Amino acid sequence: MKNSRTQYEDKTKEQLINELTRLRQRISELESLENERKRTEDEFCIQQEKFEGMLAAIGDGVDITTYDYRVVYANDNLKKIIGKDELEGHLCYEVFLDRNAPCKRCPMRRAIESGRTETEEILQPNKKIVELSVSPLRLPSGEMAAIEIAKDITERKQAEEALREARNYLENLFNYANAPIIVWDSESKITRFNHAFEHLTGYIANEVIGQKLHMLFPEANRNESLSKIARALNGEYWESVEIPILHKNGDIRIALWNSANIYTESKTLLATIVQGQDITERKRAEEALREAYEKLEMRVKERTAELARANEELRLEISERKRVEDELRIKDNAIESSINGIGIADLKGYLTYANNSFFKMWGYDKKEALRKHIENFCHIKEEAVEVIEALKNKGGWIGELKARRKDGSLFDIEFSASVVKDEAGNPICMMASFVDITDRRQAEETLRRSNEFNRSIIESCSDCIKVLDIEGRLQFMSRGGQQLMEIEDIGQYLNKSYEDFWKGSDYQGAFDAIAKARKGRVANFSGYCPTADGFPKWWDVVVSPIFGADGKVDRLLSVSRDVTKRKQVEEDLKKVSDELARSNADLQQFAYAASHDLQEPLRGIEGFVKLLTRRYKGKFDTKADEFFEYIVDGVKRMQMLIKDMLAYSQVGTKGKRFNPTECSSILAQALTDLQAAIEESGTVVTHDDLPTIMADASQLSRVLQNLIGNAIKFRGEEAPRVHVSAERKGDEWVFSIRDNGIGIDPKDAERIFIIFQRLHDRAEYPGSGMGLALCKRIVERHGGRIWVESEHGRGSTFFFTVPSGE
Ligand code: ADP
């Protein structure tokens, strides 16, 4: 202070004033400076606060580090990134990197030295990755420092790394995928092409990338393939489409394609990615497999056919073998069971084999017969030797021999023998088949005798027996026939046609009979054929077929019976019968006329007798009155007789046509007519069910009336009981009328049906004796019969039949 005072004193006032002015100026300057400073300081504070706020606001860590590595400022974010609270005042490499020496290429120093911002990524000891951006900064002190902005990029880095890895992975996946993958853009230019596709096409990626797809397709299918691709580009999704690919070397490979379109977010097509699958080999394998299969199939078919053929051959062979075996067995059986005796002998003539029939025929058993010489089996030994010789010379022998049995008895044999040879033609043995012809011989003898017998019958037969050939020509005529026909030399008639025998109208009968017999049936006809001498003869002829061995008619047998005499008798009979019919008719006419015409004078007699009786009764003696009564009685009987005779004669002529007639009705009618007699006698009439038959009702009623009337009339002690019944027997109805009357002696059973035949005195039982005769006539007109079964005193049963008419 002392120093300052001195100075003031030393100076002039002016100087002082000047000094003062200058000081005032200086003070004013200082004041303005101070103001300026304060303002600046305020501004600085504001700026600093702003800066501080900014640094805090940006998420990054910020520090300021001086050239000599000292951290003079660090914001909170940095502290968080570094993971420490105390940073200011420390050396940067120590606090940031836990190092004890600065980094060789320190970014802070490089930034300060270069004056540029340096950027570097730093791996912090705490494994965080920090992107450090360092810019030079001059501190207000003039000291050089750097402001460092640290960004924690750990997550980003990790994401980048993951992305990179994923990319690599995908890239590898794409490039090294087994499946060929191709990508093309919306203009069909190939953009990606993996190794498998390189392998598929022989191109390397560089050769095809940027090229149009076309190059990958063979000419022939290109358009088709491209149109498929166009469809793919239009968004159509393929699923396993086969597209052929052209290999660089010209080969064609078949690929199975799967596609997917890739779009931008704005939905425009970015690319098409296609994954192919080379199925060429598979196709080839399939083709080869198909061919192999076809070949196999073919082979199987061939083999099957071969097998079938072989099988068929085998089957044929088996069936052939079976057939041969069967044949052998059959032959064996046939030989063994043959009814022919079969024997085999060696070439010297010793028996080596014989079947059952042989042993039976000769009566030896097997042991005894075998090894015997065949001469032992013959009656004459020399014959056996002859046969052996003949066999040796000619190879065969057929003939008959007399054979000798073991017991010495002889029998006839027919046999055929032959020499059996081996394949080379050398004789092995002799074989013979024997038939015992003893029976046949006997049968032949029997047949011969029977033929002789037949012939003698035929010859002695009185009919004319002829054998004709199928055309009807005469082959044989029995001797009897020749006699009947008065033929002396049959030779001239043999082979003559039947037309030569049967002439005129009878020719047709013979013709028809022969035609019928030719068809295998028996035919009859009658005809006229005169004898050779012209004597007239009538014949009944039967023509029968004679069958040949083949079952066909080969000849005809004609048996003609001479019916000339019968014919004559028949003709005579016809004449008599015609005569009888005529006389019958006359008689009937006569009976009718007589009974009709007799009635007239009888009625006259009756009238006059009645007149005489009325007028002269009692005028003569009593005898005369008695005579009148006889005359009246006689006239009455005569009238009854005439009436019955008239009825009898009119049965045929006045009868009505037959109509269906209910018998119960006509019975009722008959009973009505008999009512008085029934009541008077106390008769009981019963009946069964009666049929309806074809009849003349009034005539049949008359029959019933007569028969029941007789039953009442010829009653015994008891009251009469009459039963009427009808029974069907075969094709007729048998009616019966049974009574309990006096009965009839069987010896009179037929007589009572004869006209006027009576068994009793008129005084005892009145009647004309016409009743049963009338019944007989009516029943016969109906085609039936009438009879009585009775015993004297035991009632009678009258039967009559009427055809049922069915
Ligand atoms: P008629 O009754 O007029 O005598 P028929 O021809 O009817 O004549 O009978 C012939 C005879 O047959 C009879 O006279 C009688 O002797 C015998 N006759 C007929 N019917 C009977 C009967 N039912 N029982 C016994 N005798 C009978």
Tens of pLDDT along 31-75? 777 777 777 777 767 776 776 677 666 678 889 999 999 999 888
Ligand 1 midpoint to CA 797 (Å): 12
Over residues 320-368, the pLDDT tens digits come to 888 888 887 877 787 888 888 899 999 888 999 998 889 998 999 888 8
Identify the band that residue 26 occupies on the pLDDT scale cut at 50, 70 and 90.
confident
Positive or negative torsion for Cα 534, 535, 538, 539 = negative
Measured from the CB, is residue 714 less than 6 Å from ligand 1? yes
Instruction: Kindly report the protein residue whose alpha carbon is nearest to atom 9 of ligand 1.
Output: 769
Query: 741 CB under 6 A from ligand 1?
Result: yes
With beta carbons less than 8 A apart as the criterion, state whether 547 and 500 touch: no
The preferred substitution site among 704, 752, 770, 797 for testing ligand 1, maximizing ligand atoms within 8 Å of CB, is 752
Residue 188 backbone zone (phi > 0: left; psi -120 to 50: alpha; other: beta): left
Closest C-alpha residue for ligand 1 atom 2: 767
Q: Is 768 in the pocket of ligand 1 (CB under 6 A)?
A: yes
Cβ-based neighbour number of residue 143 at 10 Å: 13
Q: Residue 668: which H helix or E strand, with range?
A: helix 663-673
* Ligand 1 centroid – CA 743 distance (Å): 10
Region of 504 on the Ramachandran plot (φ > 0 left; ψ -120 to 50 alpha; else beta): left
pTM, to two decimals: 0.38
Rounded Cα–Cα distance for residues 541 and 389 (Å): 61
For the sheet with 190-193, list strands across it: 190-193, 181-185, 269-278, 252-263, 241-246
pLDDT tens figures, 622-664: 888 888 888 888 888 888 888 888 888 778 777 788 999 999 9
What pLDDT digit, counting tens, does each position of 183-227 carry? 888 888 999 888 888 888 899 989 999 999 888 899 888 888 888
- Report pLDDT for 771: 92
- What tokens were used for 735? 């009616």
- pLDDT tens-digit series, residues 558-597: 999 889 988 889 889 999 888 888 877 777 777 777 777 7
Does 644 contact ligand 1 (Cβ within 6 A)?
Answer: no
Please give the distance of CA 326 from its chain centroid, rounded to a whole number. 35
710 lines ligand 1 (CB under 6 A): yes
Backbone region of residue 165 per phi and psi (left: phi > 0; alpha: psi in -120 to 50; beta: other values): alpha
pLDDT in tens, 85-104: 899 999 999 988 999 999 88
Mapped onto helix, strand or coil, the DSSP state of residue 62 is strand
pLDDT at 1: 43
Most confident of 457-461, 477-481, 624-628, 637-641: 477-481
Alpha helices in 146-277 (DSSP H): 154-176, 195-201, 205-208, 219-233
Tell me the per-residue pLDDT of 170-180, one tens digit each, with 9 for 90 and over: 888 888 888 88
Q: 758 C-alpha vs ligand 1 centroid, how far in Å?
A: 6
Measured between alpha carbons, how far is 561 from 485 in angstroms, rounded to an integer?
A: 11
Binding site membership of 275 for ligand 1 (Cβ less than 6 Å)? no
Closest ligand 1 atom to residue 711 Cα is: 23
Exposure letters 497-529 (e unless 16+ CB within 10 A, then b): ebeebbeeebeebbeebbebbbeeeebebebbb
Q: How far from 83 is each of 106, 156, 162, CA to CA, in Å?
A: 21, 19, 25
Q: Is 759 in the pocket of ligand 1 (CB under 6 A)?
A: yes
